[in-house]
Structure 1
Amino acid sequence: MNFQSGFIAVVGRPNVGKSTLVNELIGQKLSITSHRPQTTRHRINAIDTQQNYQMVFVDTPGIHIGNNKAINSYMNKAASSSFADVDMIIWLVEIFKWTKEDARVLEHVSKVDIPVIICVNKIDKSGSVDKILPYLEMLGEKFQANEVFPLSAFDRSHTKQLRSLILKYLPEQDPIYDDDYITDRSQKFVVSEFIREKLMRNLSNELPYDITVEIEKFELDGKMYRIAARIFVDKASQKRIVIGHKGEMLKKIGQDSRITIEGFLEAKVFLELWVKVRQGWSDDKRALASLGYD
């Protein structure tokens, strides 16, 4: 039987639904999501292996403009580097929206000579076909994609159709990873991301992006994982917000994190969280490297 495999970059502006789509395509939660832009900071490979194919989806940070901290530079480099190293691209745009950041993605996509599928997301909110056609025509004038695919990332029939479309362009070659791999990242990395997701979801607009997570202990004790993580913030005032009144916010973040981590590790988890101020970490290349942004 002929086997197909390859790297598929999922690209687009921030907060367009890339991580949600990747999770749907591999059939489990791996990439973190929130309603806030720039939730995804790292490039992560999410691997779907079946009998006749292996699709390696490269989830990328959103390409964004402005906010010139070292961390923003890191995120844009992580996103733009993915265009050169893949076999095909899924470019996610949102119906009826076209921003300066979409135009920046277009600049990158226009430079590559590989198959590109434009997925038009949130089609479920678009109304009649008559309203959609002008937007699709506008996209066609800007870029001649191999395929344009209307999509609701939460509709599983859509993601099934999208997989079939990907197979039209995926190269015939041996698997890239062993068939039991679901990501190229370590369990520790994924766990730290899950904790950061819960921070972003629970803190909403109270706290900007001056927050990251480092795993200090990750041990399997019998059938239970014992995990300790340190949450870094930029200011003492932010530390108070993360901890909350009588520690209630940190407790809630810990409870939400533990449930998601247990689902991922398929085991009981004892989780400890601390909060520490590390001033200026998000604009310090050395600090970023020590925290895994390298």
Structure 2
Amino acid sequence: MNTPENEARDGTRCGLVALIGRPNVGKTTLMNRLVGEKLAATTRRPHTTRNRILGIVTEGDDQIVLMDTPGIDQERTKLVNQVLNRTASQALADADLICFLTEAGRFGEGDERIEAAIRSSGRPALLVINKVDRQKNKEDLLPFIEERMAAFPYAGVVPIGARRGTNVPGLIEEIRNHLPEGPFLYDPDQLSDRPERFRAEEMIREAMLEQLGEEVPYSVAVRVENWEDAPRTAHIDAVILVERDSQKGIVIGKSGRRLKQIGQASRHQLESLLERKVMLNLTVRVEADWSRSPRALRELGIEEPR
């Protein structure tokens, strides 16, 4: 947040930068890479991101406030998906600069709809072509760039590989070139607007999605209900919410084996995040149709932007 000290600085630049794209294009992986820490869950599953998360990168007199957003998708039958789409769309209106993530050589209907939304927003945008390190023939990239630049007046094009960090410094430099002048919005040492509790929930949810595969796609959520810090240990009680009894059985697994595996994977990540021993207690609870409940979405932090 603004402070008198930040307001008094001369020559600083600061801007809100929205990471926009269809599901599973690498937005959260990129944000984690840019910030240098794991702020949010990343999996191979679409719709892993459910919240608008801020990641803060401060270099010299420049501060980049990244807005990681849920993937914009056509699936709108559930309330939770409608909320996710509105959250991503609102980021377009708030941004000083948009980073539109696509995949090298891939530009379908979903990308075209997002490009149209960017055009309507009137905001400047960078075309960030992710996963270029997976492209066998790099010569195919140039015609793709030429086609996209002919379709929309992007302020710049930056090919990257977010998972490995390929050309990420180049993207940071390009973003810095487009920041507006203004005071820092956050303390230079701050990395995110989200507390440790939220990041803990994200680590548990990531471990759970990786363990469950396709069995219980997105009818699960995580809520930390109690957190007690001791000098060298964090005691965390968290609940995994499912919508049906059959899903509860899948999450727990035979003789509790799967829940134990989720707990072990979560604890490993949490201890790395918190830099201390973690005692994690996981329970599974049925909350029927939570993904269709405005109250449940508010309690889980998956809510419509104000």
Tell me if both proteins adopt one fold, taking TM over 0.5 as the criterion.
yes
Distance 1:95 1:65 in 2: 21
| Matches for 1:40-189 after TM superposition, within 5 Å | 40-189=49-198
2:33·2:165 contact (CA, 8 Å) conserved in 1? yes
Shift of 1:157: 4.8
Distance 1:54 1:157 in 2: 21
Q: Give the match for residue 220 of structure 2.
A: 211
Distance 1:134 1:68 in 2: 37
* Pairwise CA RMSD: 1.4
2:160·2:166 contact (CA, 8 Å) conserved in 1? no
1:292 equivalenced with 2:298 (yes/no): no
Count matched residues: 294
Aligned with residue 231 of structure 1, among 240, 257, 261:
240
SS in 2 for 1:195: helix
Distance 2:299 2:173 in 1: 41
Aligned with residue 21 of structure 1, among 16, 25, 30:
30
Shift of 1:195: 0.8
Residue type of the alignment partner of 1:197: E
1:264 equivalenced with 2:278 (yes/no): no
Shift of 1:156: 2.9
1:31·1:59 contact (CA, 8 Å) conserved in 2? no
Shift of 1:137: 2.2
Distance 1:268 1:172 in 2: 43
Q: TM-score, normalised by structure 1?
A: 0.96
2:51·2:301 contact (CA, 8 Å) conserved in 1? no
Distance 2:60 2:141 in 1: 36
Distance 1:254 1:282 in 2: 23
Distance 2:61 2:24 in 1: 32
1:63·1:104 contact (CA, 8 Å) conserved in 2? no
2:240·2:282 contact (CA, 8 Å) conserved in 1? yes
SS in 2 for 1:269: strand
Indicate the percent of aligned positions where both proteins have the same amino acid: 39
Deviates more, 1:66-75 or 1:1-10: 1-10
Deviates more, 1:151-160 or 1:273-282: 151-160
Residue type of the alignment partner of 2:148: L
Aligned with residue 253 of structure 2, among 244, 247, 267:
244
SS in 2 for 1:21: helix
Distance 1:171 1:29 in 2: 27
| Matches for 1:193-212 after TM superposition, within 5 Å | 193-212=202-221
Distance 2:165 2:47 in 1: 25
Distance 1:92 1:184 in 2: 22
Shift of 1:100: 2.0
